[in-house]
Structure 1
Amino acid sequence: MGELADKSERLIQAYNAKDFGAMAELIAPDIDFAHFNRNFVLNSRDGLIEVLQGFAASYVPDRRFEDAEMVLEVGDTVIRQAWYVGTAAVDLPGFGAAGESFRLKFCSFMRFGPDGLLVEWKDFG
């Protein structure tokens, strides 16, 4: 695995561990984030971390990415395919009703800047 693929894995491990401080250290302040299929767009690291913390605390406390099925490093971009799993604590359209488990295939595109920070993150799935 290449250096950027390792960084993307550290980011996902921090996400799974709910270590939002470690995540923030890997993300540029003006991150270009979008989750297509969910109409969710942000361009602020602090805003993204706040949303992720709220999602983990209130909506899907057990959410996590499973081990990646595919990781491809191309230039400054890592493409990662993995299952995103959890149990909805409340009714969440596109995920499930309260108490239902879900398993969604995600494809993430993570682009890193010259300083090694994540500058763009696009999720599909």
Structure 2
Amino acid sequence: MYHVKLLTTLLLCSPLFAFASGASGPPINIICGKDNYILYESVNYQHAAIKNGVLMSDTKGFSNPYEDDENAIIFEFDEWGQNGGIHVHHFLVFNTIHKTMTLQKRTLDADNLPRGDGTTEKCKLKK
């Protein structure tokens, strides 16, 4: 039980994981490859993601077990093309154990079926 309290304290105190507390915090600026991302969470748990100055859609943020991390923090959002059908789904994982960030991107069609292989990028906080 002590390790759960310690992990919770660390998460709530870390600016990287400020959104885990449920309070509106400062934006989180991230660089993944050549792209700049800004993530927001409001007091009422609504989320927003901006990629290179463009607002993404269908943004969700949540804590969920992922791989070896029982408390991974995940953001999902979509980047729509001009035709409105083909879009890129982004799946950003903050691993709270290893303190790493990974972005998976996959192109999907209008029926959310994959088009080609996805890509994976390592990310870092923008300073």
User: Which TM-score band (shorter chain)?
Assistant: 0.3 to 0.5
**Higher-helix-fraction structure:** 1
Quick one: higher RCO (CA 8 Å, sep 6+), 1 or 2?
1
**Higher-strand-fraction structure:** 2
TM-score, normalised with respect to structure 1: 0.35
Q: Which has the larger radius of gyration?
A: 2
TM-score, normalised with respect to structure 2: 0.35
